[in-house]
Structure 1
Amino acid sequence: MARTKSNTTNGASKEVMLRQPAEMKYAEELEYLASIDKGTKPFSWRLSPQIVRTFVLGSTPSQKLDRQIEQKWYGDSAIAERAIVTLASDRGLLLIGDPGTGKSWLAELLAAAISGNSTYVVQGTAGTTEDQIKYSWNVAMVIAAGQSRDSLIPSPIMTAMHSGAMGRFEELTRCTSDVQDALISILSEKYISIPELKTDNVAFAQPGFNVIATANSRDRGVNELSSALKRRFNFVHMPVVTNKKQEKEIILFRTKELMNRHGFEVDVPPTLLDVLLQTFADLRETSAAASSDDQRLESALSTAEQIGVLEDAILHSRYFGATNLEAGALAKSLVGTLVRRQPEDISVMNQFWHAVVEKRSQEQKGEWEAFLEGGKQAMGLF
């Protein structure tokens, strides 16, 4: 995690993080919730399941809390509840869905609320090894004194086992099958064997340990999970957000958080936000009607990508344009973000711009006119 030193007004220095994990960002809120939590807590959980739900989905007037708890994850409450119940069981939790559906964010929030630490994370890639799931060795210490518990380097998953905490595994299906299967004994037996040691050669999980994994549904067929591993997970499917009101709330919430890092407030004109939402809705409709991959954008057209488009446009307007977000900058950001393949994506976007955006510009005028021209200028650069 990137860190810098920042000077305070009295001359002392303090550590500043580029991005705080959820348990640090919401530390005061978590402390308050723990102080008023009267519910039964499974194992070593810091909060009861009901209060974990409140932390993730926000408080309601019926709870009569002394302070309001803001909603942090936007989605069906049944999804959050099933995830929480799964983590209190012996089965792991697998959040599966399209890119940008909030899988990683929900996993982080759950780990923060339950364990107070969301940083026991393994990032799955084609290069992830079994050592990164279990343990490795400090070579210098092994040469000097031989293999022992002191020379063992635990993985984030093993550390979570020792702590009775939640371990996270991002993009599980990006790993090869033999690496995935290293999780089977961890999830079923709740221990890791260390055959290199003659004594003290088993690392047992403490009560409260479990695994929250995520998988991209677009990666199906890349490295399918074995049936044995599937049996050890409860699958929770994360649907793509299609409700415009809900999507608007997510975009504003996340964009505000991102802009706070830059030290300025976000003021997104409602008309421009509507233009962004409508354009993505039109792009999704066009993509669904396409008969081949060459006729649709490579982009998943997710909510996360909308957030990225808006963030880029706000920063560009702030640093190189007007003081306020402009439609032309939004269009240029959208084209620059979504066009990845050349010439396929350029062709698809160009057809969409003339068939859909130009029509909306003629019918609705206003911001759509500047949006139309901004997109044409951006496509002219490719």
Structure 2
Amino acid sequence: MPKPKPAPPAAAVEILREPAEVKYAEELAWLRSIDDGPRPSSWASSPRMVRIFILGSSPSDKLDREVRPKFFGDPSTIERAIVTLASDRGLLLIGDPGTGKSWLAELLAAAICGNSTHVVQGTAGTTEDHIKYSWNVAMVIAAGQSRDSIIPSPIMTAMQGGLMGRFEELTRCSSDVQDALISILSEKYTTIPELKGDNVVFARPGFNIIATANARDRGVNELSSALKRRFNFVQVPVVTNKKTEKEIVLFRTRELLARNRFEVEVPPALLDILLQTFADLREVSAAENSEESRLESALSTAEQIGVLEDAVLHGQFFGEGELAPGMLARSLVGTLARRIPEDVSILNKFWHAQVSKRAKKDNAGWRAFEAAGKQALEHLK
């Protein structure tokens, strides 16, 4: 019998999605090698280099190589987020769905401490154990409760390592669970009452928390006043500038397609059709008085990226290897039509009013986009 092949070394194993500190490891190492700026205790990079890593370099930075931007936003917003993390307060990034809050949190953690993976995902089922610790039941039964039988949460692991802990969708958790963060943020330690001695876990220098919250979830699980005081709120706005939105969509789509080893150039005319359609949808949605008359979708930049990626992949696997207007229209309808028949009715009305109007006075791309969208909507009726 042939001998089984040995497993590849861990470094050679591919992963589906690399965290920012792995994806940009070479760039981060280079930035740190030239970093002579003042930095807070235990930070891997100075605040100036964290800003350059996230927003990209400019001629005034006088670097020997270009650093490409990874987040497109107001520099003052990024600077305030960085300064907050150097203080005693936690950082709460708040904004509409799809504005890049999680991506910004990941970039901040990667640049500051080199590890963005200490993450708690907030849901209705998140418990205090997910924030603090739980127990290895088998070890407790065998030898009783001790430090060795504790299973630390990602937040506790970050505390012990002097790293950044991340808390996604904080307002999706119940108020009792949220308030478990109060002592961690204010006292910088957490107690383990089940242990008689050595029952306090202290945070090491460099520890802080980056949380995110969906602005549309306000009123679901409102943060307590005590917890609000321990966070600095930084608003991540919806991108309204077309040029910036175009850069974001192209940047993120190319990154996502690189996972499948695709390097596809998106025709500028089709990208303009996608951006204009979303802009028109937002305008129509804003003019409606009733929620029932609006799409369930947030019409975010993230959804544009999803539509474009879906259309490109469809063209690669089932088309002629290129993006076509029809594929773009079908992907858009498939992404945005979530409630049937409500969203289908809203999109159908929009298509016959707005898209048809543009198709009559514009090029063949709009006409093909119009026809394919109408066909896709007919299939959903």
Residue 246 of structure 2 is aligned to residue 248 of structure 1: yes
C-alpha distance in structure 1 between counterparts of 2:16 and 2:26, whole Å: 19
Corresponding residue of 2:357:
359
Q: 1:180 aligns with which of 170, 178, 194?
A: 178
Residue 340 of structure 2 is aligned to residue 342 of structure 1: yes
Q: Which amino acid aligns with 2:330?
A: K
Give the deviation of 1:13 after TM superposition. Answer: 8.6
Task: Decide whether the 8 Å contact of 1:318 with 1:324 is kept in 2.
Answer: yes
C-alpha distance in structure 2 between counterparts of 1:66 and 1:210, whole Å: 32
Kindly tell me: are residues 12 and 160 of structure 1, through their superposed partners in 2, closer, same or farther at Cα, counting changes over 3 Å? Answer: closer
Kindly tell me: are residues 179 and 268 of structure 1, through their superposed partners in 2, closer, same or farther at Cα, counting changes over 3 Å? Answer: same
Deviation string 1:166-203 (CA, Å, 9 cap, x unpaired) is 00000000000000000000000000000000111000
1:104 partner SS: helix
Corresponding residue of 2:70:
72
CA RMSD of aligned residues (A): 1.5
Corresponding residue of 2:34:
36
Deviation string 1:14-66 (CA, Å, 9 cap, x unpaired) is 21100000000000011001100001110100000001001000111122212
C-alpha distance in structure 2 between counterparts of 1:12 and 1:69, whole Å: 29
Q: Which amino acid aligns with 2:149?
A: S
1:16 partner SS: coil
C-alpha distance in structure 2 between counterparts of 1:323 and 1:121, whole Å: 38
Give the deviation of 1:12 after TM superposition. Answer: 11
Paired positions, count: 376
Any gaps of 5 or more consecutive residues in structure 2?
A: none
Kindly tell me: are residues 61 and 134 of structure 1, through their superposed partners in 2, closer, same or farther at Cα, counting changes over 3 Å? Answer: same
Give the deviation of 1:6 after TM superposition. Answer: 12
C-alpha distance in structure 2 between counterparts of 1:317 and 1:6, whole Å: 37
Corresponding residue of 1:329:
327
Give the deviation of 1:366 after TM superposition. Answer: 2.0
Give the deviation of 1:323 after TM superposition. Answer: 1.5
Give the deviation of 1:294 after TM superposition. Answer: 1.5
Corresponding residue of 1:149:
147
Task: Decide whether the 8 Å contact of 1:94 with 1:233 is kept in 2.
Answer: yes
Deviation string 1:338-371 (CA, Å, 9 cap, x unpaired) is 0000111011000000000000000113200000
1:229-308 equivalences in 2 (<5 Å): 229-308=227-306
C-alpha distance in structure 1 between counterparts of 2:341 and 2:260, whole Å: 35
C-alpha distance in structure 1 between counterparts of 2:87 and 2:10, whole Å: 46
1:371 partner SS: helix
1:148-167 equivalences in 2 (<5 Å): 148-167=146-165
1:101-180 equivalences in 2 (<5 Å): 101-180=99-178
TM-score w.r.t. the length of structure 1 is 0.97
2:259 partner SS: helix
C-alpha distance in structure 2 between counterparts of 1:267 and 1:203, whole Å: 51
Kindly tell me: are residues 13 and 71 of structure 1, through their superposed partners in 2, closer, same or farther at Cα, counting changes over 3 Å? Answer: closer
Task: Decide whether the 8 Å contact of 1:7 with 1:14 is kept in 2.
Answer: no
C-alpha distance in structure 2 between counterparts of 1:275 and 1:6, whole Å: 50
